[in-house]
A and B are shown apart, each in its own frame.
Chain A
């Protein structure tokens, strides 16, 4: 036990330093991420509170508990399954720990606990506000709080177990292939979309306007932790409570056993996959390139060899592609079902079709504003940042090539999607141009913000890429800002289209984004170099 606690102390000390950067005034830098986190928590509390009040009118307030327990679990499974590959199988301390007189199960336990602590964040963001909202609407006694605290602690256990199993299978399978990064990304994306598909498959309601409640009720029947949460919150039963605790502890123990059994075999296989390529000494390329081209090539290599970053930044783009595909092939079905299902729906199918440029703009904003690649690009340099800094290339050029790389990764997908929409639905020339301007300006704003955030919150000493991509202050701030910008963009787009018409609305949104992009460009160009020069890995 003392070995486990020492190991935990050692592994946690690095992994949990969210605010890990050299700064003279560290406390002032913490304000933004903490404030954004608190703001998000407040917004979820507000929405959960509103929903609970509405449900309480029908005596269904307990639905809020199961709904948010399910949401938390789904997020943990989706996110944890690709995080598990890095956290469990690619830590840098493998060789050091394996050489020490420590049981493998102790090493795995420490890693699992670290993983669990990271996933607890989702419980605090989603489940805690739901519990508070429920307690404010129902007569919550001491037993409810006992159940609530137990659930906060135990709800992540089963999803983490599922995520670890998926991560284990993905790593085991991808380790067998030569192009294992590709397979790891592909399998992770398939898992994520399969999870979403499985959740949507529970939507058995008859579109009565409360489909999420019906979906939640259906899922609650099958999802044991959610069922137990609702049962215990409504009628506390000590035996049901104890059985739930014992089952979760047993799942955790089983997980540690299974991962201890297979984890190190997979690590060995991944190591073998790193072996030298016997045929690698063919004719080498000595071609001279400009600094910018060389930097972009380097950034692209890094991006396409970082599965966790690929998956993390591909989600928005994949959703965009799916949305474009569905609209192209199923628009008439969607439009007619919408017109038929909602009483007094104000638009005809043709009118809905005329608003497709606005819809495309909204889809592009979803894909662009939630895909912030640059927020990790400085941190991912790691210790090699010193090598880069010693080279005769200006900080401004380094930063701009990082932004350009991100744009080159995003734009082909979004532009192609836009052109498909233009030709399929015969957009007017002006509307098409306005959508295109937004398609270029929005990711530019996101990526310029990302690079500025990463300059402010760099993390060069991470154990693995997951720590940078999923658990750094930079990504946290970029994600919150992206969500905020998305909400603002949606609201403003629909408000301006409603008030001034579609073309004028799109033009106004474009103007805003172009001005913001120019402003941010000048900030990076004028101040970026100075901030870059102050960084040291």
Chain B
């Protein structure tokens, strides 16, 4: 089918499908820790080009779902699709599209920062010139360009978090999955991180992250899901969910129910 053969209607429908396609599709996912149900029939979608916040109290199941999406943790029921591919059936193809930034940046402490970032790039088969450009750009952005030759063991929590972020961004992922990405970052790094997130979605990328900083989620995100005791209690457009109230107020009201 050539572009010329498309009618205007078909063309618009094609554009709608491309831009409205789900990058992350979670269908009826349940996860058990022994007898405890950590995730209970969780279903929602994250579309291409959107920033999606995932919020909930401590122990609600945020990290469990993030680890399940990234293929770190197995789940008993349901399915997770990354750009149409199942994380269970095609884990490597799914992971190739994603980057994961953990909540606690426990990286390889004995490695130099540059070696760790290169290691991540090697796993994604990033060409030398691409990684050089990206590493230098993001290292400079996060003020880490002079620290890359040091071992990760010598870094503070925030510096480790920055290294995890640089490593994740250096292979230009289509989907960025982050668990509490702003914890430990200094104000400048938080600002830069937000700018990077906006740039990624502008370029067609997708961001899914968990956070406790609700006012930031409110300003930054297109859509939001609220989780409570492993169940999704609210999911949808940020504006629709919060209405005239603040996200914090909505969240606290839902939590109190």
Contact = CB atoms under 8 A, between A and B. Distances in A.
A301 interface: yes
Contacts of B107: 384, 387
A386 B102 contact: yes
B255 interface: no
Interface string A360-386: 000000000000000000000011101
A289 B120 CA distance: 11
Interface in B128-152: 128, 131-132, 135, 145-151
B248 interface: no
Contact of B123 (A282, A382, A386, A393): A393
Given A386-B72, A390-B71, A533-B74, A288 B131 contact: yes
A390 B114 contact: no
A415 to B, nearest CB: 27
A286 B135 contact: yes
A150 interface: no
Nearest to B128: A288
Interface residues of B, number: 47
B95 interface: yes
Given A286-B131, A294-B119, A393-B92, A536 B110 contact: no
Given A282-B149, A382-B106, A392 B67 contact: no
Interface in A282-302: 282, 284-291, 293-294, 297-298, 301-302
A288 B126 contact: yes
A274 interface: yes
Nearest to B70: A390
A276 B147 contact: yes
Contacts of A265: none
B123 A294 contact: yes
B106 A391 contact: no
Contacts of B127: 288
Nearest to A304: B110
Contact of A280 (B92, B106, B123, B149): B149
Contacts of B128: 286-288
B132 A301 contact: no
B153 interface: yes
Contacts of B102: 386-387
Interface string A288-330: 1111011001100110011000000000000000000000000
Contact of A288 (B96, B100, B111, B121): B121
Contacts of B150: 276-277, 280
Interface string B83-114: 00000000111011010101010111011101
A221 to B, nearest CB: 46
B100 A387 contact: yes
A291 B126 CA distance: 11
B115 A297 contact: yes
A297 B110 CA distance: 12
Contacts of A287: 118, 128
Contacts of B121: 288
A534 interface: yes
- Looking at A285, A290, A383, A390, the one whose CB has the most chain B CB atoms below 10 A away is A390
Given A274-B154, A302-B108, A383-B106, A390 B148 contact: no
B73 interface: yes
Interface string B59-82: 000000001001111100000000
A297 B111 CA distance: 10
Given A291-B123, A384-B108, A276 B154 contact: yes
Interface in B36-78: 67, 70-74
Given A294-B119, A302-B110, A391-B123, A281 B92 contact: no
A389 interface: yes
A298 B114 contact: no
A306 B124 CA distance: 27
B195 interface: no
Contacts of A288: 121-122, 125-128, 131
Interface in A516-536: 533-534, 536
Nearest to B93: A392
A417 to B, nearest CB: 29
B102 to A, nearest CB: 6
Contacts of A275: 154
- Looking at A285, A293, A394, the one whose CB has the most chain B CB atoms below 10 A away is A285
A390 B100 contact: yes
Contacts of B122: 288-291, 293-294
A281 B146 CA distance: 5
- Looking at A280, A291, A306, A536, the one whose CB has the most chain B CB atoms below 10 A away is A280
A25 to B, nearest CB: 12
Contact of A391 (B104, B112, B120, B147): B120
The 9 closest A-B pairs by CB, nearest first: A280-B149, A294-B122, A383-B106, A305-B110, A390-B100, A392-B95, A286-B132, A391-B123, A392-B96
Given A277-B150, A288-B125, A294-B122, 20 more contacts: A276-B150, A280-B147, A281-B146, A281-B148, A284-B149, A286-B118, A286-B128, A287-B118, A297-B115, A298-B108, A298-B111, A301-B110, A301-B111, A384-B108, A387-B164, A389-B71, A391-B120, A392-B95, A533-B71, A534-B74
10 contacts: A274-B153, A280-B149, A284-B135, A284-B148, A285-B118, A384-B108, A387-B102, A387-B106, A390-B71, A394-B92
Interface of B: 67, 70-74, 91-93, 95-96, 98, 100, 102, 104, 106-108, 110-112, 114-115, 118-128, 131-132, 135, 145-151, 153-154, 164
